[in-house]
Amino acid sequence: MADDVTQPYDGRETFWSSFSLLTSLGTLVCCALPALLVTIGAGAALAGLVSTMPWLVALSKYKVWTFSIAGAMLMIAGYFRWQSRNAPCPIDPDQARACIRLRKISFWIYACAVGIYLIGFFFAFIAVYVFY
Protein backbone atom coordinates (compact mmCIF):
# COMPACT_ATOMS: atom_id res chain seq x y z
CA MET A 1 0.00 0.00 0.00
CA ALA A 2 1.53 3.28 -1.11
CA ASP A 3 1.45 6.28 1.17
CA ASP A 4 -0.04 9.63 0.09
CA VAL A 5 3.33 11.25 -0.57
CA THR A 6 4.24 8.92 -3.43
CA GLN A 7 0.92 9.17 -5.26
CA PRO A 8 1.06 11.50 -8.27
CA TYR A 9 -0.85 14.74 -8.46
CA ASP A 10 -4.17 14.03 -10.16
CA GLY A 11 -5.93 17.42 -10.19
CA ARG A 12 -8.80 16.56 -7.82
CA GLU A 13 -8.08 19.63 -5.76
CA THR A 14 -8.58 21.84 -8.83
CA PHE A 15 -11.97 20.27 -9.53
CA TRP A 16 -13.16 20.72 -5.96
CA SER A 17 -11.72 24.24 -5.77
CA SER A 18 -13.58 25.19 -8.93
CA PHE A 19 -16.79 23.58 -7.69
CA SER A 20 -16.52 25.39 -4.37
CA LEU A 21 -16.00 28.66 -6.26
CA LEU A 22 -19.27 28.02 -8.09
CA THR A 23 -21.17 27.39 -4.86
CA SER A 24 -19.53 30.41 -3.22
CA LEU A 25 -20.69 32.59 -6.09
CA GLY A 26 -24.20 31.40 -5.25
CA THR A 27 -23.81 32.76 -1.74
CA LEU A 28 -22.52 36.06 -3.09
CA VAL A 29 -25.44 36.43 -5.48
CA CYS A 30 -27.92 35.29 -2.85
CA CYS A 31 -27.11 37.74 -0.14
CA ALA A 32 -24.23 40.11 -0.78
CA LEU A 33 -25.42 41.47 -4.12
CA PRO A 34 -28.93 42.42 -2.93
CA ALA A 35 -27.49 44.00 0.22
CA LEU A 36 -24.98 45.98 -1.83
CA LEU A 37 -27.64 47.21 -4.26
CA VAL A 38 -29.94 48.33 -1.45
CA THR A 39 -27.03 49.98 0.39
CA ILE A 40 -26.04 52.10 -2.59
CA GLY A 41 -29.65 53.06 -3.23
CA ALA A 42 -30.23 50.88 -6.27
CA GLY A 43 -33.47 49.28 -5.10
CA ALA A 44 -34.97 49.65 -8.57
CA ALA A 45 -32.01 47.78 -10.06
CA LEU A 46 -32.54 45.03 -7.49
CA ALA A 47 -36.24 44.83 -8.41
CA GLY A 48 -35.31 44.54 -12.07
CA LEU A 49 -32.71 41.89 -11.27
CA VAL A 50 -35.19 39.83 -9.25
CA SER A 51 -37.83 40.10 -11.98
CA THR A 52 -35.42 38.78 -14.62
CA MET A 53 -33.86 36.13 -12.33
CA PRO A 54 -36.58 34.92 -9.95
CA TRP A 55 -34.38 32.09 -8.63
CA LEU A 56 -32.56 34.75 -6.56
CA VAL A 57 -35.55 34.83 -4.24
CA ALA A 58 -35.29 31.08 -3.66
CA LEU A 59 -31.56 31.37 -2.92
CA SER A 60 -32.27 34.12 -0.40
CA LYS A 61 -35.19 32.25 1.14
CA TYR A 62 -33.07 29.14 1.69
CA LYS A 63 -29.84 30.94 2.55
CA VAL A 64 -29.02 28.59 5.41
CA TRP A 65 -29.07 25.64 2.98
CA THR A 66 -27.16 27.65 0.40
CA PHE A 67 -24.41 28.52 2.86
CA SER A 68 -24.34 25.01 4.33
CA ILE A 69 -23.83 23.39 0.94
CA ALA A 70 -21.24 25.99 -0.08
CA GLY A 71 -19.41 25.53 3.24
CA ALA A 72 -19.40 21.76 2.78
CA MET A 73 -17.96 22.15 -0.73
CA LEU A 74 -15.26 24.46 0.65
CA MET A 75 -14.37 21.93 3.32
CA ILE A 76 -14.17 19.12 0.74
CA ALA A 77 -11.98 21.28 -1.48
CA GLY A 78 -9.78 22.17 1.49
CA TYR A 79 -9.47 18.50 2.39
CA PHE A 80 -8.30 17.55 -1.11
CA ARG A 81 -5.92 20.51 -1.19
CA TRP A 82 -4.47 19.34 2.13
CA GLN A 83 -4.18 15.73 0.95
CA SER A 84 -2.32 16.65 -2.23
CA ARG A 85 -0.03 19.30 -0.73
CA ASN A 86 3.03 17.02 -0.95
CA ALA A 87 2.06 15.03 -4.02
CA PRO A 88 4.92 14.80 -6.50
CA CYS A 89 4.74 16.33 -9.94
CA PRO A 90 5.92 14.38 -13.01
CA ILE A 91 9.62 14.25 -13.85
CA ASP A 92 9.10 15.54 -17.39
CA PRO A 93 9.92 19.30 -17.30
CA ASP A 94 6.87 20.35 -19.34
CA GLN A 95 4.51 18.28 -17.25
CA ALA A 96 6.18 19.47 -14.05
CA ARG A 97 5.65 23.12 -15.06
CA ALA A 98 2.01 22.36 -15.89
CA CYS A 99 1.59 20.62 -12.54
CA ILE A 100 3.07 23.55 -10.62
CA ARG A 101 0.96 26.04 -12.59
CA LEU A 102 -2.17 23.96 -11.91
CA ARG A 103 -1.41 23.97 -8.19
CA LYS A 104 -1.02 27.75 -8.19
CA ILE A 105 -4.26 28.19 -10.12
CA SER A 106 -6.01 25.82 -7.73
CA PHE A 107 -4.74 27.81 -4.75
CA TRP A 108 -6.05 31.10 -6.15
CA ILE A 109 -9.41 29.59 -7.10
CA TYR A 110 -9.76 28.21 -3.58
CA ALA A 111 -8.68 31.49 -1.98
CA CYS A 112 -11.21 33.42 -4.11
CA ALA A 113 -13.93 30.93 -3.20
CA VAL A 114 -13.23 31.32 0.53
CA GLY A 115 -13.15 35.11 0.18
CA ILE A 116 -16.44 35.20 -1.71
CA TYR A 117 -18.01 32.87 0.83
CA LEU A 118 -16.91 35.07 3.72
CA ILE A 119 -18.24 38.22 2.03
CA GLY A 120 -21.57 36.53 1.40
CA PHE A 121 -21.67 35.18 4.96
CA PHE A 122 -21.01 38.65 6.35
CA PHE A 123 -23.85 40.22 4.40
CA ALA A 124 -26.28 37.35 4.98
CA PHE A 125 -25.85 36.78 8.70
CA ILE A 126 -23.77 39.50 10.35
CA ALA A 127 -24.53 42.78 8.58
CA VAL A 128 -28.26 42.13 8.76
CA TYR A 129 -28.18 42.25 12.55
CA VAL A 130 -25.45 44.84 13.02
CA PHE A 131 -26.61 47.51 10.58
CA TYR A 132 -30.41 47.12 10.67
pLDDT-derived band at 10 (thresholds 50, 70, 90) equals low
Distances (CA, A) of 87 to 6, 7, 83, 92, 99: 7, 6, 8, 15, 10
pLDDT at 54 over 80: yes
pLDDT for the residue numbered 74: 87
> pTM surpassing 0.75?
no
Q: Tell me the pLDDT tens digit for each residue of 73-83.
A: 889 888 888 88
pLDDT at 119 over 70: yes
Q: CA-CA distance, 128 to 132, in Å (whole number)? A: 6
Q: Tell me the pLDDT tens digit for each residue of 26-43.
A: 777 777 778 778 778 888
